[in-house]
Amino acid sequence: MKNNHSNEWKHPGNRQELLRSGLLQAMGYTKIDIEKPIIGIINTWAETNPGHLHFRQLSEAVKRGIWAAGGFPLEVNTLSICEVFFDISSLIYRNLLAIETEELMARHPFDGIVLIGGCDKNIPAQLMAAVTVNKPTIFLPGGAMLPGSYEGETLSCGTDTFKLYNRYLSGELTWQQLMDHAGCLYGSAGACPIMGTANTCQVIAEALGIALPGTASSLGVSSEKLRQAEMSGRRIVEIVDEGLKPRDIITKESMYNAIRVLMACGGSTNLLIHLKAIMRRAGFDIDLMEFDRISNDTPLIVNVKPHGQYPMGADFHNAGGVPAVMKELESKLNLDCITVTGKTLRENLKCVNFSYNRNIISSIDNPISPTGGISVLKGNLAPNGAVIKRSAASERLLRHRGPAKVFDDLTAAEKWLVSEDTEMDENTVIVLRGYGPKGAPGMPEFGNYLPVPPILYRKGVRDYLRITDSRMSGGCFGSVILHVSPEAELGGPIAAVRDGDIIEVNVDRNLITLEISDEEMANRLRDFKPKGHPNIKRGFVRNFIDHVLQADEGCDLDYLQYVEEVE
């Protein structure tokens, strides 16, 4: 094979050659095996990640494909991130996993790499590393889990968890009735079966062209996923021979395609952060308002939770999955982008059918909504931007003006919201601040944690406007403005808001405004003092606080940005 670069590592012509050959043979490999190109499998399997629990089996299928195609597979494991198992925001560890994956890819004698990932934080971390190292790479999405069922009702984890909890707070369910649902929320291992951040990341990996067509939506525990794993193993050996690399695939043009697919699917707002991080590692950038422009020019055509009716996984996949979505959007895509198939997107879509189920993937001529799922806002409250998932928000709150109630502590906010003495109506705008990238630290998904107050819920009010410099789970719903930048910890304008201030939001005009003068804003911010986290003195968390960029820049670490290669 012409691109068997690991031969230089295997045959340096000195004592190391004896040592390396001996150690490889110590693991039971033959001299014939050793002479093949080395394919690294970087696996994020862990028992602390239910979304990745089936990855050992997927890895064995990948190895089958690599062996069959003439490669020599060697597997390594990395950190595996599941939001639920961390006692601090797991966005911090996206960057640590990106560093770990980058080092493994760069420092090992791998001619090519198969990345296996499924949950949010893991996938962007792996793609950040892939475009940085730029060795031949293919990504294998781990797939969605099966939905659950309780007394005949289909349940889909996070989205239905939030609904159930609001019912509990309002008194409709007892604690025992609520907990009876717990074992019925998740049907198997895999990514949560909603268009949450995990499945959105898998969809976007396929839309970027770094994963084989159809791999993003197939069920994690299906035989089809195992076949796709084997085909990914076979294909990476061919990719090595062809010399195709991640930065040939993940380009500004393919990123525009991915953003369009994101909007058509009603995907997670978290992807604006993750895509920013990936593109800035790849050496280019796209302004946040371009995301908004694409959203306005892209119909919402995928009817899945949290904004729609159906679970992800089998329903979306059987309707045609990402290939069918991209077929619908074909006239709006750059079809000359090269993909891991070795073919252009145009060639890949040539034999793809339109949706098999218009209830789940509709046509662009008869969409769920004429515009995409996410909007970007700017104004004196968020000069560098903020986002709202308009597909999961209430229409009446997309144009809203109301008085602020401000919280610098989540526990206090939750206590106030659920109190029977709360003085709040549907016009109140809840502001939760101090939970941005540096402030939290790690920008946790606290947009989820502001429930509908029971006094409003019992009146039939199911939504109200929330504004925060934190994030929100992709499985959540409601009118929540997120990623306000600059964050409060940096003395951003959100730090100046006081109880009773009037905030106006107009999503159609991309505006978010605090109705005070520039002079008053400056006076208030003059006295602002950041927390600084004096209790966090060491370790990666301290490193994150000191070096993390803002949400509109991707929340990567400042020293990990793209650097022009010098020949």
Q: Does residue 287 sit in the same domain as residue 389?
A: no
Q: Does residue 219 sit in the same domain as residue 336?
A: yes
Q: Does residue 320 sit in the same domain as residue 308?
A: yes
- The neighbouring-strand residues paired with 73 are 39
pLDDT of 185 reads 80
Contact 194, 156 (CB under 8 A): yes
SS (H, E, C) 237-303: HHHHHHCCCHHHHCCHHHHHHHHHHHHHHCCCCHHHHHHHHHHHHHCCCCCHHHHHHHHHCCCECEC
pLDDT in tens, 507-526: 999 999 999 999 999 999 99
Give a yes or no: residue 13 inside a domain. Answer: no
For the record, the structure tokens of 379 come out as: 């104004």
CA-based R_g, the chain, Å = 24
Q: Which residues of 279-312 are buried (b: 16+ CB within 10 A; e: fewer)?
A: bbbbbebbebeebbebbeebbbbbbbbbbbebbb
Instruction: Kindly state the average pLDDT of the residues 529-541.
Output: 95
Q: Is the pLDDT of residue 467 over 80?
A: yes
Give a yes or no: residue 16 inside a domain. Answer: no
Contact 376, 385 (CB under 8 A): yes
Q: Which residues, other chains included, contact 137 with Cβ-Cβ below 8 Å and sequence gap of 6+? A: 105, 112, 113, 114, 115, 130, 210, 236, 239, 245, 246
Residue with more model confidence, 13 or 150: 13
Give a yes or no: residue 21 inside a domain. Answer: no
Instruction: Residue 558: name the closest of 214, 248, 239, 95 by CA.
Output: 95
Domain end (from 184, 202, 232): 184
Q: Is the pLDDT of residue 84 over 90?
A: no
Give a yes or no: residue 18 inside a domain. Answer: no
Q: Is the pLDDT of residue 476 over 60?
A: yes
% of the chain with per-residue pLDDT over 70: 99
Q: Does residue 219 sit in the same domain as residue 163?
A: no
Contact 262, 204 (CB under 8 A): yes
Instruction: Kindly state the average pLDDT of the residues 436-451.
Output: 94
Q: Does residue 105 sit in the same domain as residue 93?
A: yes
Place of tokens 């925060």: 468
Rounded Cα gap, residues 416 and 534, in angstroms: 28
Contact 127, 141 (CB under 8 A): no
Confidence of residue 472 (pLDDT cuts 50, 70, 90): very high
Q: Does residue 82 sit in the same domain as residue 125?
A: yes
pLDDT in tens, 156-209: 777 777 778 878 888 888 999 888 888 878 878 888 888 999 999 999 999 999
Rounded Cα gap, residues 475 and 459, in angstroms: 25
Distances in whole angstroms, Cα of residue 345 to Cα of each of 50, 66, 301, 352, 365: 33, 24, 20, 11, 22
For the record, the structure tokens of 417 come out as: 């919201």
Rounded Cα gap, residues 362 and 367, in angstroms: 6
Instruction: Residue 127: name the closest of 73, 63, 53, 201 by CA.
Output: 201
Instruction: Kindly state the average pLDDT of the residues 19-32.
Output: 96
Q: Is the pLDDT of residue 1 over 70?
A: no
Contact 561, 281 (CB under 8 A): yes
Q: Does residue 46 sit in the same domain as residue 108?
A: yes
Give a yes or no: residue 358 inside a domain. Answer: no
Q: Is the pLDDT of residue 451 over 90?
A: no
SS (H, E, C) 413-467: HHHHHHCCCCCCCCCCEEEECCCCCCCCCCCCCHHHHCCCCHHHHCCCCCCCEEE
Number of H-type helices and E-type strands within the chain: 21, 14
Contact 358, 273 (CB under 8 A): no
Q: Does residue 417 sit in the same domain as residue 315?
A: no
Q: Quick count: other Cβ atoms within 10 Å of Cβ 241?
A: 19
Q: Does residue 269 sit in the same domain as residue 238?
A: yes
Give a yes or no: residue 133 inside a domain. Answer: yes
Q: What CATH number does residue 314 fall under?
A: 3.40.50.2300
pLDDT of 250 reads 98
- The strand ranges marked E within 478-543 are 480-485, 502-506, 511-514
pLDDT in tens, 382-429: 999 999 999 989 999 999 999 999 999 999 999 999 998 888 999 999
Contact 307, 229 (CB under 8 A): no
Give a yes or no: residue 31 inside a domain. Answer: no
Q: Does residue 281 sit in the same domain as residue 296?
A: yes
pLDDT of 408 reads 97
Range in 289-293, 397-401, 450-454 the model is least confident about: 450-454
Confidence of residue 566 (pLDDT cuts 50, 70, 90): low
* Residue 166 domain boundaries: 148-184
Q: Quick count: other Cβ atoms within 10 Å of Cβ 20?
A: 16
Q: Quick count: other Cβ atoms within 10 Å of Cβ 564?
A: 5
Rounded Cα gap, residues 490 and 171, in angstroms: 40
Q: What CATH number does residue 486 fall under?
A: 3.50.30.80
Instruction: Residue 335: name the closest of 349, 323, 324, 320 by CA.
Output: 349
pLDDT of 165 reads 81
Q: Is the pLDDT of residue 329 over 70?
A: yes
Query: What is the domain count for the chain?
Result: 3
Q: Does residue 512 sit in the same domain as residue 423?
A: yes
Query: How do beta strands 399-407 and 429-432 pair?
Result: parallel
Instruction: Residue 273: name the closest of 98, 394, 43, 55 by CA.
Output: 98
Long-range Cβ contact pairs of 154-157 (< 8 A, separation 24 or more): 154/311, 155/181, 155/184, 155/185, 156/185, 156/192, 156/193, 156/194, 156/305, 156/311, 156/312, 156/475, 157/185, 157/186, 157/192, 157/193, 157/194, 157/196, 157/475
- The neighbouring-strand residues paired with 137 are 113
- Element of type H or E holding 139: strand 137-141
Q: Does residue 156 sit in the same domain as residue 262?
A: no
Rounded Cα gap, residues 165 and 545, in angstroms: 32
Which strands make up the sheet holding 38-43, listed edge to edge? Answer: 72-77, 38-43, 112-117, 137-141
Give a yes or no: residue 20 inside a domain. Answer: no
Task: Give the chain's mean pLDDT.
Answer: 94
Q: Which residues, other chains included, contact 186 with Cβ-Cβ below 8 Å and sequence gap of 6+? A: 50, 145, 148, 157, 192
Q: Is the pLDDT of residue 24 over 90?
A: yes
pLDDT of 501 reads 98
Length of the chain: 567
